[in-house]
A = this chain, B = another copy of it.
Amino acid sequence: MTLTYHTPLSPDQQRAFGLPETWPLALADRVRFSELDPLNHVNNVAYLVWFEGARVTYFKHVGLSTYKNGEAEPRIVIRRGEIDWLQEMRADEDYVVGTRTVDYRTTSFTLRQEIWSGGTVRATFTCVIVLLMPDGSARMPIPEYVRERFHAVDGVERRVDAP
C-alpha cells in the first residue's frame, strides 16, 4: 500500500490504513530516528509532538488561526489533557493521527486524538482547548462558523442547551 503523508487522508485511505472509524482529519507520518529512546522505542514525549502538529493543522482547517506572525487571531491554549500510551512504536513505523472535536462550550472545546499504526491504536489524547482574545486579556467565544463545522464535519451532536 502506498501511504500519503502530510496530506489529509480520505475516508477510503483511512480504511485502507486500518482505521476502524474515519476521522474528519487524519494525517500520516513516519517515526524518525531522533524520536527513539535508549530502548529503541519511540520516546513517550514524541507522541505529544505528533498530537501537537495534528492540532495545529486541525486549527488551520477549522479556520481558527493561520499561525502567521502579526495577525490578530485568537490565542489557542491547551488547558488540560489525558494521554494513554497503549502500545509501543519502533523505528520507521508509519502512523496516522486522527483529530476531531467531540464537545464544546462557549469559549472552549474538547478534542479527541488517536494514533494508529499497523491496525492497532498506539496512543490516545483527549484535551481541552480554550480560546483567548488575541492579546490574551480574556476568553473569546468560539466563532459561529467554527461551531457549525463542529456539527457538520466533526459530528458533534446538537443540544437544546448548546451555547
Hey, which bits of chain A sit against chain B, CB under 8 A?
5-6, 29-30, 32-34, 36-40, 43-45, 48-49, 52-53, 56, 67-69, 75, 77-85, 91
Contacts and interface: CB of A to CB of B under 8 A. Distances in A.
Contacts of A68: 40
Given A5-B5, A40-B69, A78-B85, A52 B30 contact: no
B91 A80 contact: no
Given A33-B52, A38-B40, A53-B32, A80 B69 contact: no
A80 B80 contact: no
Contact of A85 (B45, B53, B69, B79): B79
Given A34-B49, A48-B48, 18 more contacts: A5-B30, A6-B29, A34-B45, A34-B52, A34-B53, A37-B38, A38-B40, A38-B69, A39-B69, A44-B48, A44-B52, A45-B45, A67-B91, A79-B84, A80-B82, A80-B84, A81-B83, A83-B83
